Structure 1
Amino acid sequence: MRTKLITSASAAALAVAITSPAFAGPTYENDTGGSFTWYGQLNPSFQSYDDGTETYNRLVDNAGSNSRIGFRLKQAYGENSLTFHFETAFGFRSSDGVSQASTGDNLSWDRTNIRHVDLQFDTARYGRFSVGQGSMASDGIAGSDRSGTGVVAGVAVADPAGGYEFTGGPGGVSVGDVFTDYDGGRLGRVRYDTNNYNGFVFSASYGTDILKTNNDRETYDVAVRYNNENIGDFALDAALGAAWTEETGKDDKRDIAGSVALEHMPTGLSLALVAGERDIAGNYGYAKLGYTADWTPLGSTSFSVDYYDGSDMASTGDSAQSWGVAAVQKIDNYNVEAYLAYREYSYDDSSTSYNDSSVIMAGARWKF
């Protein structure tokens, strides 16, 4: 009965998202080059996780692109502009925040759900200067992807089920413990981005965790990004970055990650490759094949298959693999992406071979 009720709730949520009218947050402008724009998205998903012994079915918020709302207030100053950016997640129960032992709260908001409280000064000659809570320079460096399925399948393979523990062993090892991408995050930071030089943008930042109490974390990072959609029949996205973190009571660490995504525009075929390493822990490699076609008047249809291989993530000599398949259907008139994905996880350490597990994610992201 519980499974039927949750499935019905998920179906109802998807129906609401798909049948809701398209609505984009309005932009208000003044006579001096100022504007105010708000936006948001909802991303409910039905999650079914099988840990090798039992199956758990829940309605969750997709952690890969959580439900959120925000606004931008922008004012031009000649050829330059100043932007204030605010964004917060709603705090719905996250797909990586539930486990065998906990269903989590349906709604639990605190200040760690704030994603951006950020001032950005864009200059025509000298690039962009940013200060406040927001993305570090290395945020997104592992995410180059042109497959069209990024809403539910990507290098962050733990997002669909990161809180669940592997069974068949001593316990205490979760999916999120052994699958990571070493991608940069969001902190209270100062950041600088250069102008675009023939497709290249260079970035650097310094940040600390201002949303948590009693925290003295300090992170420094640098990154370079490249984008070119006019390489003959191909389009290319690439990124590379490194971050150094210091925190009292913890070992200093250095993370390096990079990604490249190539798409053949006439056929819709794409390939993404990602790799990352932490100097005091493990490393991984990731590959993804994608295909996008315009089969219906609704919008593009995308498919992907991917594979992740990591080692030494939780302990020396351990091994973690995951593979997944995903399908995403865009419904352009309603700003909706409906998706279905399946992913398997396997993990072994030097003494134990844990049970393989799997997760199904079915949902829809509605942007407004």
Structure 2
Amino acid sequence: MLPENILLSVAALLALSTTTAVAELKYSNDTGGSVKLYGQFNPAYLSFDDGVASYGDLVDNEVSNSRVGIEVKQEFGSSVLIFDFLTGMGFGQSSNYSQTGDPDFFNWDRTFVRELQLSLKTENAGTFTFGQGSMTTDGVAQSDLSGTKVAMYNGLDTVAGNYEFRTAAGALSGVEIDDTFTSFDSSRRGRIRYDSPSLNNFTFSAAYGTNILTPNNDDIFADAAVRYKNEIAGTKIIGSLGFSRRTRNGVDRDDTFGSISGLHPSGFNLTLAAGSRKDSGSYSFAKVGYIADWLSVGKTSMAVDFYNGSDFVTDGSSSKSVGFGVVQKFDAANLETYLVVRSYEYADSTNSYLDASSVLFGSRWKF
């Protein structure tokens, strides 16, 4: 008999796979206003092998977690006022499972709130935002046109982040995936933010904020980013570059990082990213993919990526990962099903470590 957690995984994925598309949950008035309910479910089965033992659980895919939100818009002449509330649903996140313990299957708290913000979007002056939401460098490391971003992107720590490498002797080392594979991508804070209008395909942004959802946290965050979006001879190109600073107890931590992705009309695509943390490590990331129209139900996206990091845990350390993923879209059901296989290697001058691997299989349904 299959273990109960595998049965739960299969049942959840089959339930989503048979879901039909639903009408947009939106109400509009006659004065340019609207109210929309939206969200997604993204359950997955995560398997992790640390070279000694294997583990498997039904998880919420933190690459793009299950969430629900409400958006209220109202036009005022050429400007639009937007209120947005968006929260994760509180299911156990894929990065929180480990050899030493698992999170509760459901445990919502305020740290799951992604957005609680008010924005004013103007025609010529840009967009002004206040409240809980993304810093400007959130997503800067993840410009990606491969079609596989739902489960496979430059954010390896979101899948199996709390799992530890084992030493060659088989003992847990205390060195986690989260410690050795990072993109430096920023998160969401209580902040004020400004985004410029598009200027020759470039957008400039800046933000300043604090971590208002975590008690007794006095960290201060400031960042700035520039984004680029264009299409040249049929090839789509997006890119971003950012700088972020976290100040804790008077000490600054500075990150500089960016990414670029191109999609050719043939379906072939290339994504590159790199970043460095001042005095504390750097990485490079590359992904090659192909998007095919093989099935009438939707596009099939495939990609292989490589991550190379150094000096994250100790000076001279190295982190390497290779991943392969496939994503199949089912357009009529607003559904994507995916499978991602990944290997992890870590080395430093202190110990020898066993290689590890993970498999992520799941479906994301949007409404």
Unaligned runs of 5+ in 1: none
Question: Aligned equivalents of 1:362 and 1:255: distance in 2?
Answer: 32
Question: Aligned equivalents of 2:141 and 2:172: distance in 1?
Answer: 32
Q: In the alignment, what sits opposite 2:86?
A: 87
Residues 239-267 of structure 1, C-alpha deviations (whole Å, 9 max, x = no match): 0000111012x7411101110001111x1
Is the contact between residue 165 and residue 172 of structure 2 (CA under 8 Å) also seen in structure 1? no
Residues 139-191 of structure 1, C-alpha deviations (whole Å, 9 max, x = no match): 11001111111111111012221110111166211111111001121100000
> What TM-score, normalized to structure 1?
0.97
Unaligned runs of 5+ in 2: none
CA drift at 1:4: 2.9
Q: In the alignment, what sits opposite 1:191?
A: 193
Q: % of aligned pairs identical?
A: 45
Is residue 2:366 matched to residue 1:364?
A: no
> Which stretch has the larger CA shift, 17-26 or 325-334?
17-26
Q: In the alignment, what sits opposite 1:118?
A: 117
Aligned length: 364
> Which stretch has the larger CA shift, 149-158 or 285-294?
149-158
- Secondary structure of 1:160 counterpart: helix
- Secondary structure of 1:12 counterpart: helix
Q: In the alignment, what sits opposite 2:236?
A: 235
Is the contact between residue 42 and residue 61 of structure 2 (CA under 8 Å) also seen in structure 1? yes
Question: Aligned equivalents of 2:23 and 2:91: distance in 1?
Answer: 22
Question: Aligned equivalents of 1:25 and 1:136: distance in 2?
Answer: 28
Question: Aligned equivalents of 1:233 and 1:31: distance in 2?
Answer: 38
CA drift at 1:236: 0.4
Question: Aligned equivalents of 1:81 and 1:150: distance in 2?
Answer: 30
Q: In the alignment, what sits opposite 1:57?
A: 56
Q: In the alignment, what sits opposite 1:136?
A: 135
Question: Aligned equivalents of 2:20 and 2:224: distance in 1?
Answer: 42
> What TM-score, normalized to structure 2?
0.97
Question: Aligned equivalents of 2:81 and 2:256: distance in 1?
Answer: 31
CA drift at 1:339: 0.4
Is the contact between residue 274 and residue 284 of structure 2 (CA under 8 Å) also seen in structure 1? yes
**1:248-259 to 2 correspondence within 5 Å?**
248=249, 251-259=251-259
Is the contact between residue 67 and residue 89 of structure 2 (CA under 8 Å) also seen in structure 1? yes
Instruction: Quote the RMSD (CA, aligned, Å).
Output: 1.1
Residues 285-315 of structure 1, C-alpha deviations (whole Å, 9 max, x = no match): 0000010011011100010000000011111
Runs of 4+ in 1 over 4 A off after TM superposition: none
The residue identity in structure 2 corresponding to 1:201 is T
Question: Aligned equivalents of 1:205 and 1:293: distance in 2?
Answer: 38
Is the contact between residue 63 and residue 159 of structure 1 (CA under 8 Å) also seen in structure 2? yes
Q: In the alignment, what sits opposite 2:76?
A: 77
- Secondary structure of 1:159 counterpart: helix
Is the contact between residue 24 and residue 39 of structure 1 (CA under 8 Å) also seen in structure 2? no
CA drift at 1:8: 1.8
Q: In the alignment, what sits opposite 1:330?
A: 329
Is residue 2:218 matched to residue 1:216?
A: yes
The residue identity in structure 1 corresponding to 2:196 is T
Which of residues 206, 209, 226 in structure 1 aligns to 2:208?
A: 206
Question: Aligned equivalents of 2:307 and 2:22: distance in 1?
Answer: 37
The residue identity in structure 2 corresponding to 1:232 is A
